[in-house]
Amino acid sequence: ASGRVYNFSAGPAVLPEPVLLEVKEELPVYRNLGTSILEISHRSPEYAEIDASAKALLRKLLGLGEEWHVLFLQGGASLQFHQVPLNFLPKDGSADYLITGAWAQKAYKEAKFLGNARVAASSEDRNFSYIPDPSTWELDPKAAYLHFTSNNTIYGTQFQTEPEAEVPLVCDASSDFLSRRITPERYGLIYAGAQKNVGPAGVTVVLIRDDFLQRRNQPLPTMLDYGTHAGKLFNTPPVFAVYIVEKVLRWLEGLGGLPAIEAINDRKAALLYERIDRTDFYRGTAEPGARSKMNVTFRLPTEELEQRFVAEAKQAGLIGLKGHRSVGGLRASIYNACPIEAVEALVSFMDYFEQRYG
Q: Which of 103, 128, 155, 212 touches ligand PLP (CB under 6 A)?
A: 103
Q: Which residue in 6, 103, 251, 349 binds Mg ion (CB under 5 A)? A: 103
Quote the least distance from Cβ 338 to ligand PLP, whole Å. Answer: 16
Q: Are 178 and 336 in contact (CB under 8 A)?
A: yes
Residue 79 to residue 88: CA distance in whole angstroms: 14
Using alpha carbons only, give the angle 110, 116, 120 rounded to the nearest 5 degrees. 85
Bridge partners of 331? 297
Task: Please report the sign of the dihedral spanned by the C-alpha atoms of residue 264, residue 265, residue 267, residue 272.
Answer: positive
Q: Which of 288, 27, 7 is nearest to 160 (CA)?
A: 288
246 contacts: CB under 8 Å, gap ≥ 6: 50, 51, 53, 54, 57
What span, in angstroms and rounded, lies between the C-alpha atoms of 358 and 346?
16
200 binds a copy of itself (CB under 8 A): yes
Name which of 129 and 175 has its Cβ closer to ligand PLP. Answer: 175
- Measured over the CA atoms of residue 236, residue 238, residue 243 and residue 245, the dihedral's sign is negative
Number of residues that bind a copy of itself (CB under 8 A): 68
Partner whose binding site includes residue 172, from ligand PLP, Mg ion, a copy of itself, none (CB under 5 to 8 Å by kind): ligand PLP
The secondary structure of the chain in percent helix, strand, coil, rounded to multiples of 5, reads 40, 15, 40
Shortest distance in whole angstroms from residue 2 CB to a copy of itself: 8
Answer yes or no whether residue 3 interacts with a copy of itself by CB under 8 A.
yes
Beta carbons of 151 and 192 less than 8 angstroms apart = no
Q: Give, in degrees to the nearest 5, the angle at Cα 112 between 106 and 116.
A: 145
Strand partners, 191: 172, 206
102 binds, among ligand PLP, Mg ion, a copy of itself, none (CB under 5 to 8 A by kind): Mg ion
The CB-nearest residue to ligand PLP is 76
110 scored as a contact of ligand PLP (CB under 6 A): no
Residue of 55, 68, 96, 103 marked catalytic:
103
CA–CA distance, 74 with 94 (Å, rounded to integer): 26
* Residues 159, 161, 165, 171, Cα dihedral to 10°: 50
DSSP SS3 for 333:
strand
State the nearest-atom distance from the C-beta of 4 to ligand PLP, in Å. 23
Our answer to whether residue 103 is catalytic in this structure is: yes
Residue tagged active-site, from 51, 68, 137, 172 = 172
Residue in 19, 77, 300, 330 binding ligand PLP, rule: CB under 6 A: 77
User: Of 55, 196, 293, 322, which residue is the catalytic one?
Assistant: 196
Footprint of ligand PLP on 114-143 (CB under 6 A): none
Scanning residues 9 to 48, which ones bind a copy of itself (CB under 8 A)? 9-15, 17, 20-21, 23-24, 27-29, 33-36, 38-43
* Interface mask toward a copy of itself for 71-100; x: CB under 8 A: ---xxxxxx-xx---x--------------
Binding segment (CB under 6 A) for ligand PLP, from list 23-31, 136-144, 171-179, 224-232? 171-179
CB contact at 8 A, 130 and 287: yes
Active-site residue list? 103, 172, 196
Which residues contact a copy of itself (rule: CB under 8 A)? 1, 3-5, 7, 9-15, 17, 20-21, 23-24, 27-29, 33-36, 38-43, 74-79, 81-82, 86, 106, 109-110, 113-114, 193, 195, 200-203, 219, 221-224, 234-241, 244, 317, 319-320, 325
